[in-house]
């Protein structure tokens, strides 16, 4: 009998909890959709500040703006964490053309890849050879490549439903194309933009030379998908054409910047931390609204919604706006370094860095036992159609926090259109839908609320 009463009381308290959870979660969504701040913050970041490349004046303006806005939320602490970041500057707008013969040129849209060296001042003109990605490049011989520009034209795999997987399968040519092609004597590299759509926007992104000497480095640029198709078609008919491009980008010495951090200190476990974040820096061609202004304002909104709800979190909850995800990850590395130095116990980190699109659920990097626990929360997200919970990575900025204790999570959104905008000039404020952005912020808040309230199974064991 005692046992039955005991089980009954658990059942009643579970139902009670679940009702409270439903109500609290609904309130987060109501507040985000009716009185949310995320869209106005994004408007300022995008339209008043603009692209926020690491080391730029705009990046510093974004640091000052977001810190001031966090100050207004009445959090327990707001501070700037210094971090050294690379400073790469694009210079003049790039130009490029296909030269069919001395009388006929076709202009094409390119942009320098982040971290690339410039072409010679007058530009670079050479024969061009099409290669379908890195695997194909590795099979080529020096006499095929020497003295030529290599055109790496492996499209993102359009049959992959997970667009990030499609990105992952092709992005190697952007990151390491120049470093590999130069080994075969290439003089420059043109890479097909990482874009599933055919359009005229070239998409930048980081590239690496590894330990190559500066005077051995060759310039690398991205070409729009439409122009990649044109170039490929022309090369299919005539291999003797030449390609010209000119870019004046430059790498400077590292400069100091900051991660922006705000905290609500926990009532029960102040020395156990939960982090919510996105990256404040962006590429320079657009406003960086989708990548990752959206994730930053959503993360700020999580703390605002929690604060306004009157719920006092048990754990210390931090928003971290990471600097320099795009071309170095210095902010994420620095934050993790300080966590280690101070021996701060982080139990959870959640990143939003997939664009401000309709939220679908979350990915989790954790053990089986914890994932089972997390899955038990999925029904609470069903009314919002945000119950797609899967195993997977959290995000680049929170990656350096990984250890056996922490659970890393990422907001998963409908990413079918993400690569239309990613790192391109059309990544602007108008590409973000207000409602979708706000639904994402509320979904993140709901998850943070549940993790804070229930902790993780292993956390309870270690505290007993
Ligand atoms: Zn990003």
Provide mean pLDDT across the span 395-424: 97
- Ligand 1 centroid to Cα of residue 423, in Å, is 9
- Ligand 1 centroid to Cα of residue 279, in Å, is 6
* E strand or H helix that includes residue 420: helix 418-421
Instruction: Give the C-alpha separation, 194 to 34, whole Å.
Output: 36
Q: Are 177 and 137 in contact (CB under 8 A)?
A: yes
List CB contacts of 41: < 8 A, sequence separation 6 or more.
66, 69, 296, 297, 300, 301
β-strand pairing of 188-192 with 77-89: unpaired
How many Cβ atoms sit within 10 Å of the Cβ of residue 207? 23
**Alpha carbon 63 to chain centroid, angstroms:** 17
Provide mean pLDDT across the span 411-439: 98
- Ligand 1 centroid to Cα of residue 99, in Å, is 35
Provide the 3-class DSSP secondary structure of residue 216.
Answer: helix
What confidence score (pLDDT) does residue 12 get? 52
Mean pLDDT of all residues belonging to the chain:
95
Instruction: Give the C-alpha separation, 65 to 45, whole Å.
Output: 8
Q: Picking from 217-221, 267-271, 343-347, 453-457, which range would have the lowest pLDDT averaged per residue?
A: 453-457
The angle formed by the CA atoms of residues 42, 46 and 51, to the nearest 5 degrees, is: 135
pTM assigned to the model: 0.95
pLDDT > 90? residue 458: no
What pLDDT, in 10s, does the model give residues 221-245? 999 999 999 999 999 999 999 999 9
Among 206, 231, 447, smallest CA distance to 325 is for 206
Instruction: Give the C-alpha separation, 176 to 219, whole Å.
Output: 12
Strands (DSSP E) found in 185-305: 188-192, 220-223, 242-246, 250-264, 269-279
Among 62, 81, 111, 115, smallest CA distance to 328 is for 115
6 confidence band (pLDDT: 50, 70, 90): low
* E strand or H helix that includes residue 161: none
pLDDT > 80? residue 11: no
- Ligand 1 centroid to Cα of residue 325, in Å, is 7
What pLDDT, in 10s, does the model give residues 205-217? 999 999 999 999 9
Instruction: Give the C-alpha separation, 148 to 187, whole Å.
Output: 6
Q: Are 38 and 444 in contact (CB under 8 A)?
A: no
Exposed, middle or buried, 197 (CB in 10 Å: 0-12/13-18/19+)?
middle
- Ligand 1 centroid to Cα of residue 292, in Å, is 5
Provide mean pLDDT across the span 100-113: 96
- Ligand 1 centroid to Cα of residue 320, in Å, is 14
Query: Is the model more confident about 72 or about 460?
Result: 72
Write phi, then psi, for 371 (nearest 5 degrees).
Answer: -65, -40
Instruction: Give the C-alpha separation, 353 to 396, whole Å.
Output: 8
**Alpha carbon 205 to chain centroid, angstroms:** 11
Residues annotated as catalytic (active site), given as ranges: 325
- Ligand 1 centroid to Cα of residue 294, in Å, is 10
pLDDT > 90? residue 463: no
Q: Are 325 and 279 in contact (CB under 8 A)?
A: yes
- Ligand 1 centroid to Cα of residue 195, in Å, is 15
pLDDT > 80? residue 279: yes
Among 319, 308, 310, 309, smallest CA distance to 264 is for 319
- Ligand 1 centroid to Cα of residue 89, in Å, is 19
pLDDT > 70? residue 16: no
């Amino acid at each position: 009998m005692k046992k039955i009463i005991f089980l009954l009381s658990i059942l009643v308290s579970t139902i009670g909890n679940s009702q409270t959870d439903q109500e609290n979660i609904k309130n987060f969504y109501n507040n985000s959709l009716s009185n949310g701040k995320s869209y106005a913050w994004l408007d300022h970041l995008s339209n008043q500040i603009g692209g926020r490349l690491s080391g730029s004046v705009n990046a510093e303006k974004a640091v000052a703006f977001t810190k001031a806005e966090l100050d207004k939320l009445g959090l327990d602490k707001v501070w700037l964490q210094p971090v050294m970041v690379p400073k790469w500057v694009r210079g003049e707008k790039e130009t490029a053309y296909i030269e069919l013969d001395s009388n006929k040129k076709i202009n094409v849209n390119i942009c320098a890849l982040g971290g690339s060296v410039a072409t010679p001042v007058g530009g670079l003109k050479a024969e061009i050879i099409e290669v379908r990605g890195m695997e194909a490049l590795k099979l080529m011989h020096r006499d095929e490549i020497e003295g030529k520009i290599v055109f790496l034209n492996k499209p993102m795999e359009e049959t992959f439903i997970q667009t990030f997987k499609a990105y992952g399968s092709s992005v190697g040519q952007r990151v390491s194309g120049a470093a590999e092609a130069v080994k075969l004597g290439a003089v420059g590299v043109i890479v097909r933009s990482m874009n599933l759509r055919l359009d005229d926007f070239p998409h930048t992104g980081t590239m690496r030379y590894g330990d190559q000497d500066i005077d051995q480095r060759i310039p690398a640029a991205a070409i729009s998908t439409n122009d990649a198709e044109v170039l490929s078609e022309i090369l299919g008919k005539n291999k003797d054409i030449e390609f010209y491009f000119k870019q004046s980008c430059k790498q400077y010495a590292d400069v100091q910047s900051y991660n922006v951090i705000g905290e609500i200190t926990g009532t029960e476990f102040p020395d156990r931390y939960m982090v919510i974040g996105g990256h404040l820096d962006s590429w320079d061609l657009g406003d960086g609204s989708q990548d990752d202004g959206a994730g930053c304002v959503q993360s700020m909104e999580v703390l605002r919604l929690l604060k306004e709800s009157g719920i006092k979190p048990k754990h210390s909850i931090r928003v971290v706006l990471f600097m320099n995800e795009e071309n170095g990850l210095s902010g994420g590395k620095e934050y993790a370094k300080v966590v280690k130095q101070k021996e701060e116990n982080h139990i959870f980190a959640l990143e939003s860095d997939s664009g401000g699109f309709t939220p679908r659920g979350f990915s989790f990097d954790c053990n089986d036992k914890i994932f089972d626990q997390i899955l038990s929360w999925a029904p609470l997200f069903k009314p919002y159609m945000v119950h797609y919970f899967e195993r997977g990575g959290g995000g680049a900025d929170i990656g350096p926090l990984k250890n056996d204790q922490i659970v890393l999570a990422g907001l998963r959104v409908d990413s079918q259109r993400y690569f239309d905008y990613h790192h391109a000039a059309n990544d602007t404020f108008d590409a973000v839908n207000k409602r979708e952005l706000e639904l994402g912020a509320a979904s993140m808040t709901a998850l943070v609320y549940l993790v804070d309230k229930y902790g993780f199974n292993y956390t309870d064991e270690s505290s007993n």
